[in-house]
């Protein structure tokens, strides 16, 4: 089967960049990305490439090359579904807020809604590809909805047929384009060989065939969840050791290097920090927890749940030690937050450790000055769910921040003015070249630097006269 038209439902952090790379690498395929969110689509179509809804290094160059050629963004969901030979489902699957499995299970209402739309509007033979990370056996739900349409007597005149594949995404934000262009592997799960090979052929335009793994549907779905759970587990493991380092005089960077040199362990994902964020890790682990409980495996559930608990603990541990070092009170103290995104090179703040840490500090009465090169103040306001007696915009224009309130500061150097402490929460590269003598002059004394990302040079900070706490530093 030759694919000529692809439709991707969901123009988010996954759908947008993934489809951009497919369009760029396969000029003969027409790719339509559709979304129910009009504003998001407008941003994807914005003539100013700085206004794209997703910030990813290398993305705007691809959009410039392909947009309105073989890559189009629109809200014409029905029309684009009806014309596509292959449909990617890349919509969000948040954790359920209420009902059975609340707080753990994924809410599949969007995926189900997409499957129903595909069932209704598709024509001819269509390959439906799960791109969203989903609980194991979700492909079964999609299949059931589509099959219903295939065999429905009222639709007997229609010639609709479907194949369902699982093709999870392994891109990490901030390096998405690179991860898509040179993936460690591409995973395709399915039960029809022809459908699997049809999708494999698209990837073969730029990915060596030996990197394209073919599995059954359920292995593919579970491999994606497990992959994220293993990565997150490494971070909780190293973060737990950071706390031991701080008590014993060991240095987490030295410990990480020493253990990472063992080729069986490997050196990646051993950076201790303020805890993992991002839209996937917590959600996917909680999915495994829910599945384990559902299948009567409570020991497995509690093993994975502890990874999330350790992550929460690490975030609150940092807030607590900031309060302790600042004499037990943050009232009338100005604290600079350096970085609000959940990692560098992205404007995404979902599950960012900065959210919990800032909330803790605001609760203690601190006045926060938040700096981040890519996150806008509206997003910060949304994340902190800030209920102030003053309106948010009014506060942003003030120079004196009220107790338990915050402002966004765009000038890095100005943000240190009269501050009692600065806390590094995201490893933005601009934070690597700070002039510490200059910072010392600007801050109120005694001044504290809290480095949760190991981004500072401790000698330089201490030589400038500043107090320094670094994650996992026992000295």
Binding site for ligand UDX (CB under 6 A): 9-15, 35-37, 40, 90-93, 110, 113-114, 131-133, 169-173, 228, 231, 235, 269-271, 273, 276-281, 342-343
Reading the block at residue 221, the tokens are 């779905």
**Residue with Cβ nearer ligand UDX (255 or 443):** 255
Q: How far apart are CA 150 and CA 13, in angstroms?
A: 32
- Give the closest residue to 180 by CA, choosing from 168, 195, 191, 192: 168
Q: How far apart are CA 432 and CA 30, in angstroms?
A: 42
| Least distance in angstroms from the C-beta of 432 to ligand UDX | 16
| Least distance in angstroms from the C-beta of 101 to ligand UDX | 16
Buried b / exposed e over 317-337, threshold 16 CB at 10 Å, is bbbeebbeebeeebeebbbbb
Strands ordered across the beta sheet of 5-9: 71-74, 30-34, 5-9, 86-89, 125-130, 161-166, 186-189, 212-215
**Residue with Cβ nearer ligand UDX (452 or 464):** 452
Q: How far apart are CA 306 and CA 296, in angstroms?
A: 18
**Residue with Cβ nearer ligand UDX (113 or 300):** 113
| Least distance in angstroms from the C-beta of 40 to ligand UDX | 5
Q: How far apart are CA 347 and CA 405, in angstroms?
A: 22
**Residue with Cβ nearer ligand UDX (90 or 415):** 90
**Residue with Cβ nearer ligand UDX (17 or 190):** 17
Other Cβ atoms less than 10 A from the Cβ of 128: the count is 25
Active site residue 376: no
Other Cβ atoms less than 10 A from the Cβ of 42: the count is 13
| Least distance in angstroms from the C-beta of 341 to ligand UDX | 9
457 three-class SS: coil
Q: Using the 8-state DSSP alphabet, how is residue 262 labeled?
A: S
Active-site pick, 7, 114, 245, 280: 280
**Residue with Cβ nearer ligand UDX (172 or 181):** 172
Cβ contact 174:199 at 8 Å: no
Cα angle, residue 98 at apex, residues 97 and 100 outer, rounded to 5°: 120
Reading the block at residue 145, the tokens are 């909805």
Between the alpha carbon of residue 383 and those of residues 314, 328, 376, the distances in Å are 19, 26, 11
| Least distance in angstroms from the C-beta of 427 to ligand UDX | 7
**Residue with Cβ nearer ligand UDX (276 or 392):** 276
Q: How far apart are CA 229 and CA 287, in angstroms?
A: 10
Burial class of residue 11, CB neighbours in 10 A (0-12, 13-18, 19+): buried
Question: What is the enclosing helix (H) or strand (E) of 407?
Answer: strand 406-408
- Give the closest residue to 31 by CA, choosing from 113, 90, 86, 89: 86
| Least distance in angstroms from the C-beta of 172 to ligand UDX | 4
**Residue with Cβ nearer ligand UDX (70 or 454):** 454
Task: State the helix-helix crossing angle for 298-325 and 353-363, rounded to 10 degrees.
Answer: 50
Query: Which residues are catalytic, by number?
Result: 280
């Amino acid at each position: 089967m030759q694919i000529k038209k692809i439709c991707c439902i969901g123009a988010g952090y996954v759908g947008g960049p993934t489809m951009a790379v497919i369009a760029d690498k396969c000029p003969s395929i027409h790719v339509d990305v559709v979304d129910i969110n009009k504003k998001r689509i407008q941003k994807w179509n914005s003539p100013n490439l700085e206004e794209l809804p997703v910030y990813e290094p290398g993305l705007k160059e691809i959009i410039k090359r392909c947009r309105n050629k073989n890559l189009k963004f629109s809200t014409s969901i029905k029309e684009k579904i009806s014309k596509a030979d292959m449909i990617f489902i890349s919509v969000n699957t948040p954790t359920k807020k209420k009902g059975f499995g609340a707080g753990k299970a994924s809410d599949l209402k969007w995926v189900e809604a997409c499957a129903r739309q595909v069932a209704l509007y598709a024509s001819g033979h269509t390959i439906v590809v799960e791109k969203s990370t989903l609980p194991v056996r979700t492909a079964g739900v999609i299949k059931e909805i589509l099959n219903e349409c295939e065999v429905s007597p009222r639709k007997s005149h229609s010639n609709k047929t479907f194949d369902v594949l699982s093709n999870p995404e392994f891109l990490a934000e901030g390096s998405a384009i690179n991860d898509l262009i040179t993936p460690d592997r591409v995973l395709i799960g399915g039960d029809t060989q022809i459908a699997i090979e049809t999708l494999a052929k698209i990837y073969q335009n730029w990915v060596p065939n030996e990197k394209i793994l073919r599995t059954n549907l359920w292995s593919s779905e579970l491999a994606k969840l497990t992959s994220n759970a293993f990565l997150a587990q490494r971070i909780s493991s190293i973060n737990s050791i950071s706390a031991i380092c701080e008590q014993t005089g060991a240095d987490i960077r030295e410990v990480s290097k020493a253990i990472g040199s063992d080729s069986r362990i490997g050196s990646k994902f051993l950076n201790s920090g303020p805890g993992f964020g991002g839209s996937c890790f917590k959600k996917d682990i909680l999915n495994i927890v829910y599945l384990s409980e559902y299948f009567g495996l409570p020991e497995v559930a509690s093993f994975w749940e502890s990874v999330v608990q350790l992550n929460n603990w690490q975030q609150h541990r940092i807030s607590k030690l900031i309060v302790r070092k600042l004499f037990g009170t943050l009232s009338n103290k100005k604290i600079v937050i350096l970085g609000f995104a959940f990692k560098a090179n992205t404007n995404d703040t979902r599950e960012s450790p900065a959210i919990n840490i800032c909330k803790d500090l605001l609760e203690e009465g601190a006045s926060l000055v938040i700096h981040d090169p890519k996150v806008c103040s509206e997003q910060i306001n949304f994340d902190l769910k800030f209920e102030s007696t003053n309106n948010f915009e009014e506060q942003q224009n003030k120079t004196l921040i009220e107790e338990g309130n915050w402002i966004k500061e765009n000038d890095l150097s100005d943000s240190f003015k009269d501050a009692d402490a600065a806390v590094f929460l995201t490893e933005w590269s601009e934070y690597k070249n700070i002039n510490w003598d200059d910072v010392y002059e600007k801050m109120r004394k005694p001044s504290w630097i809290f480095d949760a990302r190991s981004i500072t040079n401790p000698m330089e900070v201490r030589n400038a006269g500043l107090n320094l706490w670094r994650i996992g530093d026992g000295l």
